[in-house]
Amino acid sequence: MAKVKKAPRPKAQAPKGFRDYFGAEVTERAEMLQKIAGVYHRYGFDALESSAVETVEALGKFLPDVDRPNEGVFAWQEDDDADWLALRYDLTAPLARVYAQNRNDLPTPYRRYAMGPVWRNEKPGPGRYRQFYQCDADTVGAGSVAADAEICAMLSDTLEVVGIERGDYIVRVNNRKVLNGVMEVCGIAGDDKEAERGIVLRAIDKLDRLGEDGVRLLLGEGRKDESGDYTKGAGLSAEQAEIVMGFMSAKRESGAATAARLSELVKGSVIGEAGVSELLTIAELLEAQGYGSDRIEIDPSVVRGLGYYTGPVFEAELTFEIQDEKGRPRNFGSVAGGGRYDDLVKRFTGQEVPATGVSIGVDRLLAALQMKGRLESHSVGPVVVTVMDKNRMADYQTMVSELRNAGIRAEVYLGNPKNFGNQLKYADKRNSPIAIIEGGDEKENGVIQIKDLILGAKIAESATLEEWKDRPSQYEVPRGDLVAKVREILESQA
């Protein structure tokens, strides 16, 4: 008989750009999201969990010319007649689909929050994965800027509830309409000036990196960088460029003063003036609710990259210092952002539906909380009941049951019990606080040994041989005192 060819062993490897999350990485994120959900709920937002899979059509990710989806999404087609399906790449496009699908049943305005993974078919890099969490809240069907103000207030509350202290963050608000007004005043509002507007937007975004002079070059004739590469400019006159520069530095002490300065810059532009007026209303609403400029402020330098914003935009920045990879101090930076987008639902229904919302960068916010030491540590492992005699497994399981019934995390060692050293190595790997030992002698005498592994590790670092021999971290107690003694040690470790 011919030998059956064996299938080669598969590689035990997550696909490129994907990763797994273990233990505390999972529970800390879950707890943070739960706190956020609590705030969203209190604000009247309802949970929504939409399907992870959408038609490419609904996501709006079809490439018009090639009849297949944009490469930024993971997409597939079962057969030539079937719809192209794709994994959602954010939570906003699915919201537009869900709202359009259920618009007769959902309340309007519809306040919803959503938390879950999204997938991007992009080149992975350090810290950049193809699957990551988003956490969004949006209000659909409310044209009033009161909805935008509410999102900003909620964002501020959320940051404080998860553990970012007041003073360690700022929510900045701007308005795309003001920027559009600036473009109008600069004479680049027309349909034929889209390229110029794009250059101006990107130039504003680069202020941090290029400085004022660099931006001025990009607004005007263009800029040659250190390597000699030339970037085309927007072709604004010096006077026009000055308006843009003035816009970026229009921030003043108070919201009212900033608005006054912006008014000067967009004078004569209807849309620009409408934008300034909206900013003023937002500032007033927030002021009335007690959100001062220590929490939320108008800041014209906030632009937000996404093309679909049509009005107010906002961004939450953490202002405490961290060190960058080269050891230089810098602000932690942005952890959330959003704004008003009035056209997304229209794609489906033909009717304009105003909407506004915010998305929190879950991983960045978690990293910030980690740095600030604001995460409860979940790395404490279970109490490990060791196995001295494998025929007495029932005894050990009974101990574990008693501990668990008392609410104490505990387990019996389930590996091969032959080598006792392996059991203690296991307890070490599990980060166990305590090990329980009941050998034949102990059983006979009705006692157990309880090892305080945390104290033991401390003593091992510094103790002399004599001290160590005394085993001050090991206690012999009557079997009946198991739960009480374990609880006492756990409390002493806390």
User: Which 128-157 residues touch a second copy, going by CB under 8 A?
Assistant: 130-131, 139, 141-144, 146-147, 149-150, 153, 157
The verdict on whether residue 475 carries a ligand-binding annotation is no
Yes or no: say if 106 and 138 are a contact pair by the CB < 8 Å rule.
no
In whole angstroms, the minimum distance from the beta carbon of 106 to a second copy comes to 8
Q: Which residue has the tokens 């090990």?
A: 435
Yes or no: say if 383 and 403 are a contact pair by the CB < 8 Å rule.
yes
Q: What are phi and psi of 104, to 5 degrees?
A: -80, -20
- Choose which of 193, 202, 404, 487 interacts with a second copy (CB under 8 A): 404
- Choose which of 32, 36, 85, 434 interacts with a second copy (CB under 8 A): 85
Pairing of strands 169-175, 296-298: parallel
- Binding region for a second copy (CB under 8 A) out of 68-76, 324-332, 433-441, 462-470: 68-76
Query: Can you give the C-alpha Rg of the chain in angstroms?
Result: 30
Say if residue 363 is exposed, middle or buried (CB neighbours under 10 Å; 0-12, 13-18, 19+): middle
Residues of this chain, 8-67, that bind a second copy according to CB under 8 A: 9-15, 18-27, 30, 34, 37, 41-44, 46-55, 57-58, 60, 62, 64
475 is a site residue for a second copy (CB under 8 A): no
Residues of this chain, 167-206, that bind a second copy according to CB under 8 A: none
Yes or no: say if 91 and 116 are a contact pair by the CB < 8 Å rule.
yes
The verdict on whether residue 134 carries a ligand-binding annotation is yes
Nearer to a second copy, 224 or 390 (CB): 390
- Listed in sequence order, the residues at least 6 apart from 153 whose beta carbon sits closer than 8 Å to its beta carbon are 286, 289, 291, 296
How many Å separate Cα 50 from the centre of its chain? 18
- Choose which of 170, 412, 448, 489 interacts with a second copy (CB under 8 A): 412
- Choose which of 186, 279, 358, 410 interacts with a second copy (CB under 8 A): 410
Yes or no: say if 186 and 240 are a contact pair by the CB < 8 Å rule.
yes
CA dist 275 and 258 (Å) reads 13
Pairing of strands 110-119, 222-224: unpaired
The verdict on whether residue 304 carries a ligand-binding annotation is yes
Site string for a second copy, 362-401 (x = CB under 8 A): -------------------xx-------x--xxx-xx--x
Q: Distances from the Cα of 232 to the Cαs of 156, 196, 206, in angstroms?
A: 39, 10, 14
Nearer to a second copy, 404 or 487 (CB): 404
Q: Nearest CA to 334 among 319, 348, 323, 345? A: 319
The verdict on whether residue 9 carries a ligand-binding annotation is no
Nearer to a second copy, 61 or 223 (CB): 61
Nearer to a second copy, 247 or 341 (CB): 341
The CA angle 22-25-29, to the nearest 5 degrees, is: 135
The verdict on whether residue 230 carries a ligand-binding annotation is no
Nearer to a second copy, 168 or 395 (CB): 395
- Choose which of 92, 111, 180, 236 interacts with a second copy (CB under 8 A): 111
Yes or no: say if 277 and 134 are a contact pair by the CB < 8 Å rule.
no
Residues of this chain, 89-108, that bind a second copy according to CB under 8 A: 97-98, 100-102, 107-108
- Listed in sequence order, the residues at least 6 apart from 487 whose beta carbon sits closer than 8 Å to its beta carbon are 406, 408
In whole angstroms, the minimum distance from the beta carbon of 45 to a second copy comes to 8
Residues of this chain, 281-340, that bind a second copy according to CB under 8 A: 284-285, 287-290
Annotated binding-site members for L-histidine: 90-92, 120, 134, 138, 304, 308-309
Annotated binding-site members: 90-92, 120, 134, 138, 304, 308-309
